[in-house]
Amino acid sequence: MLNPVDKAVEIFDPIGALKRAQSRIALKALDTAYRGASRITRTLGTWLPDLLPANTDLDTATRQDLISRSRDAFRNQPAARAAINRTSDNAVGTGLDLQVSIP
């Protein structure tokens, strides 16, 4: 389905419309199945974080501050407690165990 700009280009410049359609197809081929992994979107194209282990992200003092604040929030803020409990309720265990039975 063409948007209004593509329709106008198609009327006045059919070759230009064909080039636009080919470019759009080429861009879709570069896109990924996961929107968050896309490198061609305007918002995510320049976001290239380092892939470092989690324990190198924070120094010890900052990590301890975050831990103490999150524990305090869990104890004293019902919304924080509900969020943490909801996350642990939705956690997946070790998976399904198959049991074969032959009748």
Q: Does residue 48 fall inside a structural domain?
A: no
The count of structural domains within the chain is 2
Report the length, in residues, of the chain: 103
b/e map of 22-39 (b: 16 or more CB within 10 Å)? eeeeeeeeeeeeeeeeee
pLDDT in tens, 34-88: 666 767 677 777 777 777 777 777 788 888 898 899 899 989 998 888 887 876 6
Q: In this model, does residue 100 exceed pLDDT 70?
A: yes
Q: Does residue 42 fall inside a structural domain?
A: no
Domain that holds residue 21: 4-37
Nearest to 18 by CA among 34, 2, 31, 42: 2
The answer to pTM > 0.85 is no
